[in-house]
Amino acid sequence: MADKISTRQAYGNTLVKLGAENPDIIVLDADLSKSTMTAGFKEAYPDRFFNAGIAEANMMGMAAGLAFSGKTVFASTFAMFAAGRAYEIIRNSIGYPHANVKICATHAGITVGEDGASHQCVEDLALMSVIPGMTVVHPADGVSTEKLLRQVAALDGPVYVRLGRLAVPVVYDEGTGITLGKAILAREGSDHTVIACGLMVNEALQAAETLEKEGISVRVLDMHTLKPLDEEAIVRAATETKSIITAEEHSVIGGLGAAVASVVARRCPTKVSMVGVQDRFGQSGKPEELKKEYQLTAEDIADAVRAADAEMK
Amino acid sequence: MTIDRNYLETMAAKVRIDIIRQIHAAGSGHPGGSLSAADILTYLYFAEMKVDPADPDRKERDRFVLSKGHAAPALYAVLAEKGYFPVEELLSLRKLGSMLQGHPDRKHIPGVDMSTGSLGQGISAAVGMALANHIDGSTGRVYALLGDGELQEGLVWEAAMAASHYGLDDLTAFVDWNGLQIDGKNEDVMTVTPIDDKFRAFGWDVQIIDGHDFDQIAAAVEKAKTVKGKPQLILAKTVKGKGVSFMENEAGWHGKAPSEEQAKQAVEELGGEW
Ligand SMILES: Cc1ncc(C[n+]2csc(CCOP(=O)(O)OP(=O)(O)O)c2C)c(N)n1
Ligand SMILES: [Mg+2]
């Protein structure tokens, strides 16, 4: 069993390191610092941590003001209350004036689990991707979270980073080169390509292993940066393999699947199948049960690949 | 108004035991704020509100909105004890396929008047319901319960302004003033006091009471019903985790399930059998 760490924990750890390197980093939270893991930064640099209270809209507005006064701001809360509650403030006060604010939202997706639909954000990638100039990142594991966050911190402009609650297997070793805006070729393959993000990357790798034994060779791309999207990697997948299967812990409306499909439709028409949340709200349950209920497991990805393969024979 | 204090205290103890059992069975949930709200909810459902479990959607009923939706186990406990659904069903809280979602879900749970869980939104919906009563000339009243941390949401103050602007005297809101939120004390996270003066400035009638004293709750609700032309706030001083010694006044018990041993101790302290 590989080591497990949640991407929110990796975020919290990275934030402490970044705080030592850059004295201009300010961290904001909205009464969830022990869940978003900004509590470590608060402890290390109490003078540079500010609790906005349960007031996400004001937190985003303050973040913009701090950014335009020379600070590099990391603002955290749950994805529902960042991308959801504070949407229009992010759009008009952070996106439109292009503020140097890193919105690091945790507890995204249905694997939030027992809290249920009111807390399970499966719309945030859509909401954030539609804002001009917003960089949108959704790492798969602890290693890529740290590597991507370092690049996010160095970038001048607004970024949305989508992080999870659940401890997930570490997919990459420390030596893996990971670049913002460039898909990671997580596994080479020649028949079909699964393009995944977040915790679905690990599921995709497991599916590829199963399918290998059935004689289907699957390429796996980790599309950790949804915007700007690595179009060339998508075009290569569309031309070098028979079909594309996208996999995301997000609505299939407006997320990774939709973004990939629009590139494919424009540049290289190919069949695209989508594994993701099918226009449904979440519900209470254990994360692993919910992954099954919402068809977000390795087996669901494998089924989608098998179906595409059968159709294209 | 005379109340049966004994009956209400017995019922509140049952509700608290139900809260502990639910959260222990679920393995997650919010005991602190459920226990602090238990007496207010018990009073509303067992001494005040005109509701009928056999006809949960009756038009001229009183309504209740749990704006601090994470206290769902307290609401589910009073609804079950009141007869909206079997008490045994409480143990399905937060499980896959259960109607008892982690936060109140009006689509599936009889007696739940509003889906909540995102702080600040419930009070806006309560204002809408009170406004509808005015439009329809309905005799129903609307009750809402807010957390003190929840008051940090700007939306609460937009709702407060609207309620007084429209003169919604059929709206009574409680604040569960337990002094704590997730990251610690209100005043360390984001000062919310003075709560009474703020609501007064927003045009509300304000009373301050002990939220664990049924005589005070009863007197405040009776007085609120006589107020004309203004919404009313009942600022109820409470203890987070009330009734369970090791949970009282501990921010750490905001959102954590008790172990078997802890649940047993809690139920026994509340006068129940494990
Ligand atoms: C809009 C929103 N932001 C954040 C949360 C997460 N959250 C749940 S409970 C809570 C603290 C609530 O504190 P308080 O209102 O004082 O409740 P109580 O002490 O009565 O439990 C927070 C921040 C939420 N549910 N909704
Ligand atoms: Mg409180």
pLDDT tens for A108-124 read: 999 999 999 999 999 99
Tokens of A74: 């990391």
In chain A, the percentage of residues whose pLDDT exceeds 70 is 99
pLDDT tens for A233-249 read: 999 999 999 999 999 99
- Asked if residue A126 lies in contact with residue A255, where contact means CB atoms within 8 angstroms, the answer is yes
The domain ranges of chain B are 5-269
CATH architecture of A184-312: 3-Layer(aba) Sandwich (3.40)
In chain A, the percentage of residues whose pLDDT exceeds 90 is 99
Position B134 scores a pLDDT of 96
| Torsion, CA A65, CA A71, CA A77, CA A82, rounded to 10 | 50
Position B214 scores a pLDDT of 98
Position B2 scores a pLDDT of 81
Of B94, B119, B153, which is closest to A114 when you measure between CB atoms? B94
Contact residues, chain B, for A81 at CB < 8 Å: 118
* Phi, psi for residue B199 in degrees, rounded to 5: -65, -35
Q: Is A81 in the pocket of ligand 1 (CB under 6 A)?
A: yes
Could you tell me if A113 lies within 8 Å of chain B, comparing CB atoms? yes
Ligand lying nearest the CA atom of residue A116? 1
Position A1 scores a pLDDT of 44
Q: Is B16 in the pocket of ligand 1 (CB under 6 A)?
A: no
Of B28, B115, B183, which is closest to A114 when you measure between CB atoms? B28
Position B23 scores a pLDDT of 98
- Asked if residue B183 lies in contact with residue B245, where contact means CB atoms within 8 angstroms, the answer is no
Helix (H/G/I), strand (E/B), else coil: B271: coil
Best mutation target, B92, B108, B118, to test chain A (most A CBs within 10 A): B118
pTM (2 d.p.) = 0.97
pLDDT tens for A74-133 read: 999 999 999 999 999 999 999 999 999 999 999 999 999 999 999 999 999 999 999 999
Sign of CA dihedral B178, B184, B185, B187: negative
CATH fold for domain A4-169: Rossmann fold (3.40.50)
The stretch A53-58 carries a mean pLDDT of 98
pLDDT tens for A209-234 read: 999 999 999 999 999 999 999 999 99
pLDDT tens for B65-74 read: 999 999 999 9
The stretch A52-62 carries a mean pLDDT of 98
> Quick check: A114 and B115 CB within 8 A?
no
Best mutation target, A78, A107, A114, to test chain B (most B CBs within 10 A): A114
- Quick one: which atom of ligand 1 is closest to the CA of B151? 15
* Phi, psi for residue A161 in degrees, rounded to 5: -115, 120
Looking at chain A from residue 40 to 99, which residues have their Cβ under 8 Å from any Cβ of chain B? 51-55, 57-58, 80-81, 84-85
- Is A56 assigned a catalytic role? yes
What does each of the 274 residues of chain B score in pLDDT, given as a tens digit? 688 999 999 999 999 999 999 999 999 999 999 999 999 999 999 999 999 999 999 989 999 999 999 999 999 999 999 999 999 999 999 999 999 999 999 999 999 999 999 999 999 999 999 999 999 999 999 999 999 999 999 999 999 999 999 999 999 999 999 999 999 999 999 999 999 999 999 999 999 999 999 999 999 999 999 999 999 999 999 999 999 999 999 999 999 999 999 999 999 999 999 9
The domain ranges of chain A are 4-169, 184-312
pLDDT band at A292, cuts 50/70/90? very high
pLDDT band at A2, cuts 50/70/90? low
Position A313 scores a pLDDT of 81
CATH of B5-269, picked from 3.40.50.150, 3.20.20.140, 3.40.50.970, 3.20.20.70, is 3.40.50.970
Contact residues, chain A, for B183 at CB < 8 Å: 29, 31-34, 51
Position A6 scores a pLDDT of 98
